[in-house]
Amino acid sequence: MRNQETDDGGIRERLHRLINERSQSEIARKTGAQVAAVNRYVHGARIPAAFCASVVRGLGVNPSWLLMGEGSPYLADVPEQTAALGENMLELVEAMSAVSRMLLGSLAGKHHMKVLRELNDALLAHEKLREQINTQTRPVFRRILDDLEKALHKLDLERAIDLRKAADQLSRLCDDETLTRDYLRVCAFHEFQLKHSEDFLRAQRKVFLRSLPDGDLFDERACDEARRIVVALIQMNRIPEAMRIIRAVRSLAGRKGREWQAWARLENTYAVLLAETGQLYRGIELIQQSMPRLAGMYRAVSEAALVKMLLWSNVLSIDDAIAMGTPNDARARHILQFACWQLDRAAVGRAMDYAQAPGVEVVWGRSYHHAFALHLKEQMDKPAPGKARAMARDYESGWGKPEDVTDRFNLAAYSCELERVGGYRKPALEQLWKAEEARRKHYPEFVPGPLELATHYRAALKLLDKPKTNRERALVKRAGRHFQRRIAKGYLCFKDAI
């Protein structure tokens, strides 16, 4: 009995440590338990095995540590046996220090041959120790990278941060080209998930340069890494630059490249770009050609993009889009955004229900579109001042202050829409000119999303129905011309905007 009580006390003590690092509510959320239950376990109640298993799965806790107090607290931690690397590292530092001392010394004089032999011995010792460290770190590094990639695919960003720290440290010790390339690729994926566009682009460029083959000018791996650079540029709304790169990649791939699986992913990305830059019918055609060759997440994103294009062309209604295919958050985001464009409160409600339904597959992760839809629906139901400020607070609490031009434009355009729908003309005009300033400042390299830009231009036509200044007349003219060109290209959802 004494041993069982001791075990319970040890587990409870280690659970206390986890709560000090996080909180009872977070542990409850990660494990699926009630907060009250977690509180009881901490304060003396018997801790069931099922809860321990949930802690291991949900928090990435090392089961040996949780149950027995052995090993590191988290599975992401580098195993204790790798501490032996420290001894080798000390020897490596000593060898390198010897090399440095010899290089700084003079090699002239009658003893120079002896010094050169000692230098050669020190360099050989250095290489031998480095190879030993590589041998010991390779399996650990491989496991950490695999775990990090799995965490990223599951959108478990908290665990990914811990794993990334371990991977960063191991990358400095392991001199293996394949693992280094995989490390850079996973780091780029991590930055993509964190929405750190500049860091994502910087990391992806490194991966692309390392992926170039030694023999041929271009191969499938290089094609896929180049496509990811395009994705980084799209995330930053640097659409013209993305188009230039994707056309160059298609040329480099040539006829042989059309057999690659990476080609289908490339063509799918190209189709989305075409649809977002005014070539809707060509985009639909190309995405239909590439989609059958895609699988998994790529297929889900491709299907969502096709639904978006069919909504723009008025081929599908909101209800049609909701009824089609397997629900996922990529499709839900497009449907929700389109319902907001239509300013149909019932459609917005149905789209919100679809996005929040249980079982919706996570492909992209959260976005601010739901916050906008919620405030827009409230504004259409019962207009009230300050909705734009409320949305800005929600945005900052979830994503931080809008720092890049994309975020500044989108937030201003949607804030303008909230004020305009509520009938608050003066604050709506203030937001309108904020959005226009953000758009003009970075034109033509920055191109807003089609519905964001359309929302901005529709607001301009509604708010400036009687333009008085040259600035107002220029914006109204630009907005009208934009809609006329898009409607002629098949974007029939814009017909009611003019």
Q: For position 489, what pLDDT does the model report? A: 95
CA distance 203 to 186: 9
What residues contact 475, with CB distance under 8 A and at least 6 apart?
436, 460, 464, 467
Q: Is the pLDDT of residue 110 over 50?
A: no
Enter the tokens of residue 225. 């890494």
Q: For position 18, what pLDDT does the model report? A: 83
Nearest Cα to Cα of residue 32 among 56, 67, 12, 66: 56
DSSP state of 78: P
Q: Is the pLDDT of residue 116 over 90?
A: no
CA distance 183 to 18: 29
Q: For position 108, what pLDDT does the model report? A: 47
One-letter amino acid for residue 347 of the chain: A
Most confident of 75-79, 273-277, 369-373: 273-277
CA distance 138 to 473: 65
**pLDDT one-digit tens code per residue, 342-353:** 999 999 999 999
Confidence tier at 430 by pLDDT (50, 70, 90): very high
Q: For position 23, what pLDDT does the model report? A: 77
DSSP state of 388: H
Q: For position 384, what pLDDT does the model report? A: 94
Confidence tier at 341 by pLDDT (50, 70, 90): very high
Confidence tier at 456 by pLDDT (50, 70, 90): very high
Q: For position 95, what pLDDT does the model report? A: 55
Q: For position 82, what pLDDT does the model report? A: 47
Q: For position 281, what pLDDT does the model report? A: 96
Residue position matching structure tokens 């090392």: 62
What residues contact 152, with CB distance under 8 A and at least 6 apart?
160, 186, 189, 190, 193
Stretch 136-164: mean pLDDT = 86
CA distance 384 to 424: 9
Cβ proximity of 46 and 8 under 8 Å? yes
CB-neighbour burial class of residue 251 (10 A; exposed 0-12, middle 13-18, buried 19+): exposed
CA distance 375 to 382: 10
One-letter amino acid for residue 488 of the chain: A
CA distance 190 to 193: 5
**pLDDT one-digit tens code per residue, 60-107:** 777 777 777 776 677 655 444 444 444 455 555 555 555 555 554 544
One-letter amino acid for residue 69 of the chain: G
Cβ proximity of 73 and 61 under 8 Å? yes
What separation in angstroms does the CA of 423 have from each of 378, 382, 472? 13, 11, 19
Stretch 226-243: mean pLDDT = 87
Q: For position 34, what pLDDT does the model report? A: 83
- DSSP structure string for 271-311: HHHHHHTT-HHHHHHHHHHHGGG--HHHHHHHHHHHHHHHH
Q: For position 364, what pLDDT does the model report? A: 64
One-letter amino acid for residue 34 of the chain: Q
DSSP state of 120: H
Q: Is the pLDDT of residue 228 over 60?
A: yes
Helices (H) and strands (E) in the chain, counts: 24, 0
Model-level pTM? 0.67
Q: Is the pLDDT of residue 214 over 70?
A: no
